[in-house]
Structure 1
Amino acid sequence: MSRATILGLVKMNKPESLPLPVIDENAFKEEIDLKETFKSNVTLVGGQIKEIEPNSIDSEIQSLYPNKTKIVSITNKSTLGTVQISPNTDPHTLQDIDLAIVEGDLGVSENGAIWVTGEASILRALPFITNDLVILLDKTKICLHMLDAYKLIAKRDRTFGVFISGPSKTADIEQCLVVGAHGAMSLTVLLI
């Protein structure tokens, strides 16, 4: 069969579009402490989280990661960056980055996930290629559920963005957990 024939058959057998289901969002409302639940869930998924004052960001990062020398900082809230990058930086040159410091736009209490945009990381690969990742998050920007998070990000420009929940990890059928398999070995969230 030719490509045109296959595509023609696919078009002919296309299922009818179905409307999206109506979700009763009130069924998901909970009276919980958003910040404390978020902190608990970040820890549950393998990250560490600290609530700090904005003027102690650099000292906190230095105490947590004293031996890191190749640091990319994509925030004006930290002066620890030793490696400069731009949108034109070849991600392959970042293979030996020890630590990346980025800002998160919002946190999700339900699962400890943090929304990080392409603007916050400059290069899409940065949060995944670094050995260790620090995300700075405003403690007032935590929502209850993913439903709320999707509402908040719905009006954004359709550029790159990702929810990050804990360090990278995977497990095989024998339940052998491997941390850092596809990205950062550790995630630290600093609530400011």
Structure 2
Amino acid sequence: MRVLMNGIKKDVKMSREAILKAVKKNKPEVLPLPEIDESAFQEDIDVVKTFKDNLALVGGQVFEITTDAIDAKIKEQYPNKSTIVATTTKSNLGNVEIDKNTDPHTLEHIDLAIVEGELGVSENGAIWITANNSLVRALPFITNDLVIILDKRNICLHMLEAYDNIAKRDRDFGVFISGPSKTADIEQCLVVGAHGAMSLTVLLV
């Protein structure tokens, strides 16, 4: 940190403990969360169709299939993948074994990851993934391509409903994923695969 003393800039080194103490001392007053009338956001829509439309809008693709057709559809979409991690029992395509203690640095060569999602969100095509789904937190982001298997009965209308559904969860790692990795801040052009999975395929069962 640099401070100005008598017109002369001087470097002042603060210890980690001093910084944390200063932050704790200057914490803002805790305010209650606002009351939100969720009924104002209710819509009579086909949540599955809207989910599919919004997922396509952000660069993903989605297929409605039966559970016994999962592996055939994955092979059809990704015929040339050779290093595959499957953290779900709904697929038998995995040929790389991982567990919760796997070093994520060893996953840099993964072509395809197949995981299950816990719930989907119709309004933005997002899917909730937990540590139990991915085993290694980095897996959905370090893989070249990502397949998420989702029960279409677990698609909710909007994020308010989604947060209600996950509010009582164990406080472990979780993330909402909506489409493949992308950015759209350069010349207003959508670039897919900017810093993560190049593609996302969602299989609704």
For residues 18 and 151 of structure 2, the distance between their equivalents in structure 1, rounded to whole angstroms, comes to 54
TM (norm. structure 2) is 0.88
For residues 90 and 137 of structure 1, the distance between their equivalents in structure 2, rounded to whole angstroms, comes to 26
1:77 match: 90
User: What runs of 5+ residues in structure 1 fail to find an aligned partner?
Assistant: none
**1:106 is the counterpart of 2:119:** yes
Change (3 A) 1:176 1:8: same
Q: Following superposition of structure 1 onto structure 2, how do residues 56-75 of structure 1 map, counting pairs within 5 Å?
A: 56-75=69-88
1:25 match: 38
Runs (4 or more) in structure 1 with deviation over 6 Å come to none
User: What runs of 5+ residues in structure 2 fail to find an aligned partner?
Assistant: 1-11
Q: Following superposition of structure 1 onto structure 2, how do residues 72-151 of structure 1 map, counting pairs within 5 Å?
A: 72-151=85-164
Q: Per-residue CA shift, 1:148-184, capped at 9, x if unaligned? A: 0011111110000100000001134433433212210
TM (norm. structure 1) is 0.94
Q: What CA RMSD, in Å, does the superposition of the two structures yield over aligned residues?
A: 1.6
Larger Rg computed on CA atoms:
2
Q: Per-residue CA shift, 1:109-135, capped at 9, x if unaligned? A: 010000011111000000000000000
Q: Following superposition of structure 1 onto structure 2, how do residues 155-174 of structure 1 map, counting pairs within 5 Å?
A: 155-174=168-187
Q: Per-residue CA shift, 1:53-95, capped at 9, x if unaligned? A: 1110000000000000100001111000011111111111111
Residue aligned with 1:140, SS? helix
Change (3 A) 1:97 1:19: same
For residues 139 and 147 of structure 1, the distance between their equivalents in structure 2, rounded to whole angstroms, comes to 18
For residues 105 and 9 of structure 1, the distance between their equivalents in structure 2, rounded to whole angstroms, comes to 40
How far off its partner does 1:6 sit? 5.8
Change (3 A) 1:69 1:23: same
1:187 match: 200
For residues 79 and 6 of structure 1, the distance between their equivalents in structure 2, rounded to whole angstroms, comes to 50
